[in-house]
Amino acid sequence: MREFRLKDRVYFSDTDAGGIAYHRSYFDWAEHGRTEMLREAVPSHQQSALAEKDGILTVIKSIEIHYRMPAFLDDEIEIITSMGKVQRFSCMINQRIVRGSEVLADLVVKAAFIDRETKHPVPIPEDFLAALSEEGK
């Protein structure tokens, strides 16, 4: 399976009074990793284009995250993203946040597509489906 890697750093805005990266920051990093993977997989479809042309939004259905080690200010981190199972209405995405060879957190994310107006689920657009299934191989 293909992995998409995105480099980032732990900034002051990511940290809390406990002296470590705040647990919500991992959700933001993971979102950046998924977005950049999508942009690479389907270069013709920026998220804003998808919303305007087809009236489709991507939404998160569920996230399971396990925190393994704390991250600290200035850490260089990498977000590793790979596609899991792709279905008609939803897909699974596996993500790992690492600092060098250390695993900081593991996430399993379920994403779906909805109609922008009705907010009802819609099938994953054909070109997305093809690109995402290709990523998952």
Partner 1 sequence: MKEFLYKTRAYFSDTDAGGIVYHASYIDWAEHGRTEMLREMVPDKTQSELAEGDDGILILVRSIKIEYHKPGYLDDAITVHTSIEEMRRLSCTARQIVMRGDDVLADLKVGLAFVNAKTKRPAMIPDFIKQAYEEEL
Instruction: Return d(Cα 45, Cα 62) in angstroms, integer.
Output: 23
Look up residue 36 and give its two tokens. Answer: 């950049």
2, 9, 23, 88: which one binds partner 1 (CB under 8 A): 23
Choose, from 8, 16, 74, 127, the residue flagged as catalytic. 16
Per-residue b or e along 67-76, where b marks 16 or more CB atoms closer than 10 Å to that residue's CB: beeebeeebe
Active site residue 127: no
Q: Taking CB under 8 A as the criterion, which residues in 43-82 touch partner 1?
A: 48, 51, 57, 59-67, 70
Q: How far is the CB of 66 from partner 1 (least distance, A)?
A: 5
Residues 94 to 133 in contact with partner 1, rule: CB under 8 A: 116, 119
Using CB under 8 A, count the residues that bind partner 1: 22
Contact 63, 131 (CB under 8 A): no
Which residues are catalytically annotated? 16
